[in-house]
Amino acid sequence: MTQKKPSLAIGMIGHAFMGAAHSQAWRTAPHFFDLPLDPAMRVVCGRDPARTAAAAERLGWAESATSWREVIGRDDVDLVDICTPGDTHAEIAIAALEAGKHVLCEKPLANTVAEAEEMASAADRAAVHGVRAMVGFTYRRVPAIVLARRLVADGRLGEIRHVRAHYLQDWLADPDAPLSWRLDKDQAGSGALGDIGAHVVDLTQFVLGEQIREVSGQLETFVKERPVASGAAGLTGGTTGSERGAVTVDDAAVFLARFAGGALGVFEATRFATGRKNAIRIEINGAKGSLSFDFEDMNVLHFHDASADDLEAGFRRIVVTEPGHPYIAAWWPPGHGLGYEHGFTHQVVDLIGALGAGEEPTPTFADGLRVQRVLAAVETSSDTRSWQEIPA
Amino acid sequence: MTQKKPSLAIGMIGHAFMGAAHSQAWRTAPHFFDLPLDPAMRVVCGRDPARTAAAAERLGWAESATSWREVIGRDDVDLVDICTPGDTHAEIAIAALEAGKHVLCEKPLANTVAEAEEMASAADRAAVHGVRAMVGFTYRRVPAIVLARRLVADGRLGEIRHVRAHYLQDWLADPDAPLSWRLDKDQAGSGALGDIGAHVVDLTQFVLGEQIREVSGQLETFVKERPVASGAAGLTGGTTGSERGAVTVDDAAVFLARFAGGALGVFEATRFATGRKNAIRIEINGAKGSLSFDFEDMNVLHFHDASADDLEAGFRRIVVTEPGHPYIAAWWPPGHGLGYEHGFTHQVVDLIGALGAGEEPTPTFADGLRVQRVLAAVETSSDTRSWQEIPA
Amino acid sequence: MTQKKPSLAIGMIGHAFMGAAHSQAWRTAPHFFDLPLDPAMRVVCGRDPARTAAAAERLGWAESATSWREVIGRDDVDLVDICTPGDTHAEIAIAALEAGKHVLCEKPLANTVAEAEEMASAADRAAVHGVRAMVGFTYRRVPAIVLARRLVADGRLGEIRHVRAHYLQDWLADPDAPLSWRLDKDQAGSGALGDIGAHVVDLTQFVLGEQIREVSGQLETFVKERPVASGAAGLTGGTTGSERGAVTVDDAAVFLARFAGGALGVFEATRFATGRKNAIRIEINGAKGSLSFDFEDMNVLHFHDASADDLEAGFRRIVVTEPGHPYIAAWWPPGHGLGYEHGFTHQVVDLIGALGAGEEPTPTFADGLRVQRVLAAVETSSDTRSWQEIPA
Amino acid sequence: MTQKKPSLAIGMIGHAFMGAAHSQAWRTAPHFFDLPLDPAMRVVCGRDPARTAAAAERLGWAESATSWREVIGRDDVDLVDICTPGDTHAEIAIAALEAGKHVLCEKPLANTVAEAEEMASAADRAAVHGVRAMVGFTYRRVPAIVLARRLVADGRLGEIRHVRAHYLQDWLADPDAPLSWRLDKDQAGSGALGDIGAHVVDLTQFVLGEQIREVSGQLETFVKERPVASGAAGLTGGTTGSERGAVTVDDAAVFLARFAGGALGVFEATRFATGRKNAIRIEINGAKGSLSFDFEDMNVLHFHDASADDLEAGFRRIVVTEPGHPYIAAWWPPGHGLGYEHGFTHQVVDLIGALGAGEEPTPTFADGLRVQRVLAAVETSSDTRSWQEIPA
């Protein structure tokens, strides 16, 4: 440690919920993991100067700025971390890549397939020059999910027959919950589908190592109008008055899917599952075994090995906190579980690791585009009441 | 008890798995419940004289017979209990009703909508003469399910937004599991869809008190050929040789649904969910509350009351064994749980209760027909890759 | 089945809660299991002629009687099934054995060690003449418990280090729950200790195949006086007036224990565990593995195999409903769980099996005596605030 | 935030497991909570200069030092954070307090009651001068535990009857796991009892708001000798040779307890619970309700409200991640759970909050002394095989 590591200077665009999570990751990763580059939290960018300056202090950034273009133009910024709403991703990311900055972009990659395609192209062009782009599907970094992927890849489940995946929240179940940018199609692109459905699409494709080939789905907006929030907006907005505005995104999305290998998928993403707060549930059945995961108990993976003696077979509750489990050696002793934010730290660790090794970090923008195509196919399917194929 | 109750003489057709379950119910009900009629286990009917005679002795029937027509023609039989494969239901049930016998018919009501319609018509005609017909969706009689229905009916969940319902088994996950009549479309009508999917269709409609209005589904036969079993066939067949035969039914069925009240449904029925033995899982989200049930823990209902203080809200694990819970007062003290077979006993109790009161027992053949129409719509949807409406 | 089996005629003494459970077992066993003897429900005995006659009809006994001495004197009774309170066990059981009748006696074997010793002696004397005695610890017959015992016996847990065993009920948590014979030391012998603590003492000794060697315990009566119930008494009594009577037994018992092989035990039996209805929880930790059981989920055994790869190790949720699991082949397909009453049926099956084979049924009266000695040692320990050894 | 907050400069003694956890807390707290003082990570102290310097860099301390006396003598250190083994706590803490430094001392407070008494006296003397001392029972800061305490304090459980508390680990279940300082009585004071039993003693007293009055316990060392680890020692040591050394502390501790209010307690602390990694389980039964907690699912508290309608009563699974739950507003949206390390951050938040407000932080050294007295009473009880009272 006597030799100084090369630095990696970060400029972060946006400082709300995701900005806070990313900041905690940048701050924390170097203290637990041996990284090839030393991240420096150079500058955070937001619209409001005073609020951005306060965020810089609170979140640990050296400076604040109000122009993202200025940030990506700075020589002392190596990587741009995009934590803004989806409608701004394409413009910022493409510009940053063209400016020779590595990019970490929050999911969903973009609000439309067209934008995502442009972003993937930009990423390809940038890669030629060793400039890297990654999309932020952090739940891939939950140790139990990585273990799940390994078990599937090792053939422990055999041929996969069923995937059932839910992402259940309930923060809109109350019809008087206020409007926020997340309920505005212009900013958010879609509702539950893109915000949380994107995660289970990515997670299941990641765990299976296979793409979804076709879908048949249905979107629904249960509550068409909501009170307009006045003042600052957090996840659930500020105070509300008598004014009501239209909800222009879906409250819930359900769809059937067929994976490339033939497995049947059943997906559900909703903000109306009363009593479920952040339940990402994935269950996979194969010819030789099964897996079950629920983010409400995120340090656990349930694994059924059908090759075991019938009389002793059963779903094993694997507490994924052993030193040999993914990412765990850097943290705490067995049974001392991780939390939500650790996925973001692992994301930063993997990203810096790839940059240090000169490798392409994953998920790539091309991976993000694939997710976007699935989401778009679900929307079209809902509109046309038909099955839709996803281009490979 | 000094006054002798009127008798209700039963003739049962079929004596395999369902015959054994029904027999236990007929034997047990009078010892725990105060019934208006005294069931007499008059005669059991099967094809093979010796095996049927043995079944009569083992299951507690006074006599055995080999002709179902003879059984329904007997003056000393009041009710015909049909436990045969689905392809025989219509003929036997209609003949029995026309002969003036009450009928209890196993589910699914029939193998086709046409047959089910004829059966429902026959039931209507018979009802004029006080002859009653009931279809055997026994899971309706699980105390937790009845409690669930009450909570929904009392408005405790508010407007229903989501229904997710799975019936997961795994006895065909092994590609070398043998053929049985349940895998033959001619006898069984369909596979997972009709055998177990029928249950979750009926259960969700029962709990919600609403019909499914439209569906979009997909059937799949993962393993197209299987070893032919030689000799007697139980649920998983006898020994097998090198001969292989075609599986002509679905291994799994998945479908989206829309209920009359607007709720989105996601359904899954499969015999390939490795590690899940008989997992009937139903989860319902409403604006004011949610319910969750899993038959693998059948004495429990989980209920989330969203009207509770946020800081204390949570899914309550209600152990449905209190004296005030449905059916429970007749059984054991709190916490001394019931098992699978008790649903059959409750079925007999409800049936005899309705007959004694001169009322129509439920589910009626019309209810069975409605389930059949949903199943048929799922099949058509799968064939045509389109949404299908269910006639009201 | 053409050859008539020898008969085993039963006379049952007592017809309350346990009488109902035993009756269901006698009625049911022959219909599911192939028994060497054919049980005949000859006569049930109670104090009140009318109520006993009604019980005979309801429970399926051919006759009723009011004198247990008369019952044990009958030539047409082969086995006496004792379902009365504990203070009567010794007298009836010894007389029955001396009259040459086999005896099945409810637990706890007796209210005092002295009585239990006399009963064990009587059983020894009777055994010389092929007359058998068994004590009714039915929870031994839960399939998951038998599987647990097998895993321990097969060395799968290695050396046993820890046993924690709870029997938690809550029917006395309300200070206004009425008095019943179960709260009267003269009739019941003890409270939670003998009624339910006895079960976990027997179960843990059964699963480990080892005796408890010493104990240090504490009994407590939280509510010293309760309303006197007027009229008939069920488990929770009838209506109550203003009169209050003393509770003369323990409400709860806790004790530490040391098993013969060195394992540390922690036991708890209480009727004051608000919200726990019949939670029999047993957890065993060995050098090579662990087991966990909870009767609130009685068809499941959790097994941790520490010899597995660390990264895949975890408690397996074994659903104990496979055909190869204890008792299960006689019942239903996998996943179609059993209930509380099945333990009684299995008890009858094992008893008749042993009688048919001319073998000693277990648990013997000597086993019951051993449990009684542990209970007595706990009481003495509580009185003297000291560790007490249990004579071998 | 424009006005500069006063600073609180920290010197931390020790940089192993606890040092890493404390460092993460000091680093993280200011970024999520609005603190009255701004913690500065001034200096970390360890024996080995090179390793301590590396730790300083890795953990984020400005400087490193090798003499704790020098650290407590520095003018630019305001608070000494003691993360060393228990045998050093008294000397360092007393010296630091006398030097006018606030002290945060890891638990258990000391290795003997005598030391703990001296420390409590020193804390009392220091308090006169506004110098504060706190002991680090971090599990008090788990949001579910704080919620539990509130429910008890609000009378929601009524009179408390039962407490059952386990702290189960398994890292010594393997007889070949190596010796470490934690197995050496001179350094560690005791084994499972002081290391993890201390936590459940403190937690139950904290949640009940009551002291334990008397205990009867048993300590056990299952494996008397272990391989000597060579080289650096983590929680489970380095590599081992053929040399074996004596284990001089307990592997497991079990004890009965009586709380001041009359509740019966049953406690267990062990490192031999194969398959349990860090299972802190607390269950409390009161006349009006019950609570259940398991650290393996740390974001959840189960609460049974017995005042609810019997037919709807059940343990509620409260996901303790709502904004109104303790500490949560500073973190993430509902359902985005916390992990092990967050307890340490909350500890720092509460400590700085108290210092800023000029109040006494809790748990005080007097609280730590009370825990120590319970632990000592358990040891004496085990040695003398008798009940031991705890001085008030």
- C252: domain CATH number is 3.30.360.10
Residues D52-78, mean pLDDT to the nearest whole number = 97
pLDDT given for residue D376 in this prediction: 97
B322 touches chain D (CB under 8 A): yes
User: D323 falls in which pLDDT band (50, 70, 90)?
Assistant: very high
ipTM attached to this prediction = 0.94
Nearest to B194 by CA among B103, B279, B112, B81: B112
User: Helix H segments across chain C?
Assistant: 17-32, 49-59, 68-73, 89-98, 113-127, 143-153, 185-188, 192, 198-208, 342-357, 365-384
Q: What angle do CA A87, A88, A89 make, to 5 degrees?
A: 100
User: C172 falls in which pLDDT band (50, 70, 90)?
Assistant: very high
d(CA B266, CA D324): 33
pLDDT given for residue C258 in this prediction: 98
Selection from A228-232, B2-6, C12-16, C308-312 with the highest mean pLDDT? C12-16
CATH number at residue A128: 3.40.50.720
Give the tokens for residue B239. 């020994």
User: B3 falls in which pLDDT band (50, 70, 90)?
Assistant: low
Q: Do B266 and A264 touch (CB under 8 A)?
A: no
Same domain for A295 and A156: yes
Give the tokens for residue B210. 């609403």
Residues B182-194, mean pLDDT to the nearest whole number = 90
If you average pLDDT over every residue of chain C, what do you get? 95
CB pairs under 8 A between A and C: 48
Give the tokens for residue C361. 């049924």
Q: Is the peptide bond before C108 cis (omega within 30 degrees of 0)?
A: yes
Of the candidates D161, D262, D273, the beta carbon closest to that of C285 is on D273
If you average pLDDT over every residue of chain B, what do you get? 95
Q: Do A314 and C303 touch (CB under 8 A)?
A: yes
- Domain assignment present for residue D348? The answer is no
Q: Do D317 and B314 touch (CB under 8 A)?
A: yes
Residue A232 has pLDDT above 60, yes or no: no
Residue finishing a domain among D338, D362, D383: D338
Q: pTM, whole model, 2 decimals?
A: 0.96
pLDDT given for residue D54 in this prediction: 97
Q: Do B340 and C338 touch (CB under 8 A)?
A: yes
Contacts 24+ apart (CB under 8 A), D385-390: D385/C216, D385/C386, D385/C387, D386/C385, D386/C386, D386/D216, D387/C385, D387/D214, D387/D215, D387/D216, D388/D214, D388/D215, D388/D216, D389/D213, D389/D214, D390/D211, D390/D212, D390/D213, D390/D214, D390/D215
Residues B107-111, mean pLDDT to the nearest whole number = 93
B187 touches chain A (CB under 8 A): no
User: C121 falls in which pLDDT band (50, 70, 90)?
Assistant: very high
A57 touches chain D (CB under 8 A): yes
Residues C49-64, mean pLDDT to the nearest whole number = 97
Q: Is B308 in contact with C306 (CB distance < 8 Å)?
A: no
Give pLDDT tens digits for B191-231.
999 999 999 999 999 999 999 999 999 999 999 999 987 65
pLDDT given for residue B188 in this prediction: 85
User: A257 falls in which pLDDT band (50, 70, 90)?
Assistant: very high
pLDDT given for residue D254 in this prediction: 98
Residues of B in contact with A174 (CB under 8 A): 287
- Domain assignment present for residue A66? The answer is yes
- Domain assignment present for residue B351? The answer is no
Give the minimum alpha-carbon distance from C270 to chain B in angstroms, rounded to a whole number.
Answer: 14
Residues of C in contact with D272 (CB under 8 A): 161-162, 285, 287
Residues 64-103 of A with CB under 8 A from B: none
d(CA C82, CA C85): 9
Q: Is B318 in contact with C322 (CB distance < 8 Å)?
A: no
B171 touches chain D (CB under 8 A): no
d(CA D89, CA C111): 54
Q: Which domain holds residue B126?
A: 7-136
D322 touches chain B (CB under 8 A): yes
Same domain for A265 and A279: yes
Residues of A in contact with B262 (CB under 8 A): 222
User: D239 falls in which pLDDT band (50, 70, 90)?
Assistant: low
pLDDT given for residue B4 in this prediction: 81
d(CA D40, CA D184): 34
Q: Is A119 in contact with A110 (CB distance < 8 Å)?
A: yes
Give pLDDT tens digits for C294-342.
999 999 999 999 998 889 999 999 999 999 999 999 999 999 999 999 9
Residue D210 has pLDDT above 90, yes or no: yes
Residue C242 phi/psi, 5-degree rounding, is -90, -15
Side-chain half-sphere of D87: how many Cα atoms within 13 Å?
A: 11
A287 touches chain C (CB under 8 A): no
Give Cα C76 to chain centroid, integer Å: 27
Q: Do A385 and B385 touch (CB under 8 A)?
A: no
Q: Do C286 and D274 touch (CB under 8 A)?
A: yes
Q: Do B317 and D315 touch (CB under 8 A)?
A: yes
The total domain count for chain D is 2
Residue C231 has pLDDT above 70, yes or no: no
**Mutation to test the C interface, candidates B52, B142, B317, B319, most C Cβ within 10 Å:** B319
Give the tokens for residue B132. 């009653």
User: Helix H segments across chain B?
Assistant: 17-32, 49-59, 68-73, 89-98, 113-128, 143-153, 185-188, 192, 198-208, 342-357, 365-384
Give the minimum alpha-carbon distance from C222 to chain D in angstroms, rounded to a whole number.
Answer: 8
D4 touches chain A (CB under 8 A): no
Same domain for B151 and B109: no
- Domain assignment present for residue A288? The answer is yes
Residue finishing a domain among D138, D161, D181: D138
**CA torsion, points A143, A148, A153, A158, in degrees to nearest 10?**
170
d(CA A66, CA B38): 84
Q: Is B30 in contact with B5 (CB distance < 8 Å)?
A: no
Same domain for C149 and C226: yes
Q: Which residues are A172's β-sheet partners?
A: none
d(CA B150, CA C224): 39
D303 touches chain B (CB under 8 A): yes
If you average pLDDT over every residue of chain A, what do you get? 95
Q: Which residue of B has its CA nearest to C169?
A: B335
**Mutation to test the B interface, candidates D311, D315, D317, most B Cβ within 10 Å:** D311
Q: Is D277 in contact with D268 (CB distance < 8 Å)?
A: no
Of the candidates A157, A268, A285, the beta carbon closest to that of B266 is on A268
d(CA A112, CA A373): 9
- Domain assignment present for residue C353? The answer is no
Same domain for C219 and C288: yes
Q: Which residue of B has its CA nearest to C34?
A: B58
Residues A19-28, mean pLDDT to the nearest whole number = 98
Residues of D in contact with B317 (CB under 8 A): 302, 314-317
**Mutation to test the C interface, candidates D151, D159, D161, D167, most C Cβ within 10 Å:** D161
Residues of C in contact with B276 (CB under 8 A): 335
User: B180 falls in which pLDDT band (50, 70, 90)?
Assistant: confident
Residues of D in contact with A341 (CB under 8 A): 332, 336, 339
Q: Which residues are B303's β-sheet partners?
A: B291, B316
d(CA C84, CA C81): 9
d(CA D283, CA C270): 13
**Mutation to test the B interface, candidates D149, D156, D301, D312, most B Cβ within 10 Å:** D312
C319 touches chain A (CB under 8 A): yes
CB atoms within 10 A of CB C336: 20
Same domain for C44 and C18: yes
Same domain for A299 and A156: yes
Q: Which helix (H) or strand (E) holds A124?
A: helix A113-128
Residues C278-303, mean pLDDT to the nearest whole number = 97
Give the minimum alpha-carbon distance from C22 to chain A in angstroms, rounded to a whole number.
Answer: 29
pLDDT given for residue C189 in this prediction: 86
Q: Is A41 in contact with A23 (CB distance < 8 Å)?
A: yes
- Domain assignment present for residue C392? The answer is no
Residues of D in contact with A171 (CB under 8 A): 333-334
What subunits make at least 3 CB pairs under 8 angstroms with D? Answer: A, B, C
Residue finishing a domain among C103, C136, C169: C136
Residue D331 has pLDDT above 90, yes or no: yes
Q: Is B272 in contact with B172 (CB distance < 8 Å)?
A: yes
Q: Which helix (H) or strand (E) holds A50?
A: helix A49-59
Give the minimum alpha-carbon distance from C58 to chain A in angstroms, rounded to a whole number.
Answer: 39
Same domain for C311 and C214: yes
- Domain assignment present for residue A250? The answer is yes
Q: Which residue of B has its CA nearest to C53?
A: B1
What subunits make at least 3 CB pairs under 8 angstroms with C? Answer: A, B, D
- Domain assignment present for residue C168? The answer is yes
Which residues fall within 8 angstroms of residue B75, CB to CB, at 6 or more apart? none
- Length of chain B as a residue count: 392
Residues 234-273 of A with CB under 8 A from D: 235
Same domain for C207 and C94: no
d(CA A102, CA A344): 17
Give pLDDT tens digits for A160-175.
999 999 999 999 998 8
Same domain for C115 and C183: no
User: C4 falls in which pLDDT band (50, 70, 90)?
Assistant: confident
Give pLDDT tens digits for A81-126.
999 999 999 999 999 999 999 999 999 999 999 999 999 999 999 9
Give pLDDT tens digits for A48-86.
999 999 999 999 999 999 999 999 999 999 999 999 999
d(CA B176, CA B285): 39
Of the candidates C161, C174, C254, the beta carbon closest to that of D266 is on C254
Same domain for C158 and C120: no
pLDDT given for residue A235 in this prediction: 44
Q: Which residue of A has its CA nearest to B253?
A: A264
Give the tokens for residue D316. 């509620």
Q: Which residue has the tokens 């439209």?
A: B214
Residues B331-360, mean pLDDT to the nearest whole number = 97
Same domain for D186 and D107: no
